[in-house]
Amino acid sequence: MAQLRNIPLNALRAVEAVARLGNLRAAAQALGVTQGAISQHLRRAEELLGANLFTRGAQGLELTELGRVMSVDLSRGFALLEQAVATASAREVDALTVSVAPVLASKWLVWRMNDFAQAHPELRLRIEATMDLVSPRLSGADVAIRVGRGGWSGVATRKLADQVAFPVCSPALAANISSVQALHELPVLRDINSPDFWPDWWRLNGGAGDPPSRPGPSYSDAALCLDAAIAGQGVFLAWPALAGDAIARGQLVRPVDGTLRTANAYWFVTQGARLSPNIRAFADWLAVELERSYSALDIEVGTE
């Protein structure tokens, strides 16, 4: 077999990316090259190793047994290399890069940055707003805050809060709503990129018949839906970290009682279970702040 110095690093990166992402297209996008280049790297790696790492068939590429074993070691190795480069490139020892979904960053986190700075003046945060990746390593971040069901492989997670949905609308629209059934009178604002929680919320909170379906505007982002609700365009199923501050400012109200605890939650995601003091401090602060936001709405945070 070839020694490490005889195998191009790009060929090994291509093997690791295809093994992790499952196909040539995703690997090419992740590495910023063409699919043809990825194919060439794979063939070159196999030639130099003298063994097949993938089988080629009608269903695409499948890892061989050797490929599965090797890909695990490659992922670990590249993780260590990226960590070493990040350490060498760091200009500020006490800076923490946080990957977070744009909606959570803009509607909740950014409004609490001054509080964090006062509590931890020695630690500077860098916020990377993205929904693309779960793994902090792959996004170049120290930690990530993600929404989902958890159970991701290759990372350590800490549950921060359940995602709990409830209706919100402007005070003017709420003035004529006296019951759950009366929500049928309001246009429904929809986020076209999110699940429709209305049927579950409706059934859980005593609605009769079908859930509200009077058509209102649809948007491709929850933050836009929230702004549309503030503007009086309709009723929207929101959640504490999205709508809590607008409710506190009187821009929105909950026209009826009732919540739905969805299957999703907020997770603090790290590359490993061992946390630095800075990361632990940020995680603890996040947990406290989210609990405060939920408590203001008389909602349990649900970390169990």
Residue type, 113: M
Q: What percent of the chain has pLDDT over 70?
A: 91
d(CA 180, CA 163): 21
pLDDT greater than 70 at residue 90? no
Question: Which among 42, 80, 44 is positioned nearest to 64, based on CA atoms?
Answer: 42
Q: How many domains does the chain have?
A: 2
Same structural domain for residues 81 and 205?
Answer: no
Question: In which band, very low, low, confident or very high, does the pLDDT at 302 lie, cut at 50, 70 and 90?
Answer: confident
Least confident of 7-16, 85-94, 175-184: 85-94
- Structural domain including 268 reads 92-304
d(CA 174, CA 255): 5
Q: Per residue in 190-212, pLDDT tens?
A: 999 889 999 999 999 999 999 99
pLDDT of residue 135: 67
pLDDT of residue 4: 63
Q: What are phi and psi of 53, to 5 degrees?
A: -100, -20
pLDDT greater than 80 at residue 303? no
Domain's final residue, options 25, 57, 89: 89
Mean pLDDT, all residues of the chain: 89
User: Left if phi > 0, otherwise alpha if psi is -120 to 50, otherwise beta: which for 302?
Assistant: left
pLDDT of residue 134: 62
Q: Per residue in 182-192, pLDDT tens?
A: 999 999 999 99
Mean pLDDT of 133-146: 75
Domain's final residue, options 89, 117, 149: 89
Q: Who has greater pLDDT, 117 or 273?
A: 117
Same structural domain for residues 241 and 222?
Answer: yes
Domain's final residue, options 54, 70, 89: 89
Mean pLDDT of 284-292: 96
**What SS3 string covers 17-57?**
HHHHHCCHHHHHHHHCCCHHHHHHHHHHHHHHHCCCCEEEE
Instruction: Give the CATH number for residue 195.
Output: 3.40.190.290
Same structural domain for residues 62 and 112?
Answer: no
Q: Per residue in 30-40, pLDDT tens?
A: 888 888 889 99
Q: Per residue in 55-87, pLDDT tens?
A: 888 778 888 999 888 888 888 887 777 766 665
pLDDT of residue 7: 80
pLDDT of residue 59: 74
Q: Per residue in 213-228, pLDDT tens?
A: 999 999 999 999 999 9
Same structural domain for residues 155 and 199?
Answer: yes
Question: In which band, very low, low, confident or very high, does the pLDDT at 133 lie, cut at 50, 70 and 90?
Answer: low
Same structural domain for residues 170 and 301?
Answer: yes
pLDDT greater than 70 at residue 231? yes
Same structural domain for residues 48 and 164?
Answer: no
Question: In which band, very low, low, confident or very high, does the pLDDT at 91 lie, cut at 50, 70 and 90?
Answer: very low
Instruction: Give the CATH number for residue 50.
Output: 1.10.10.10
Same structural domain for residues 162 and 281?
Answer: yes
d(CA 286, CA 289): 5
Q: Who has greater pLDDT, 47 or 296?
A: 296
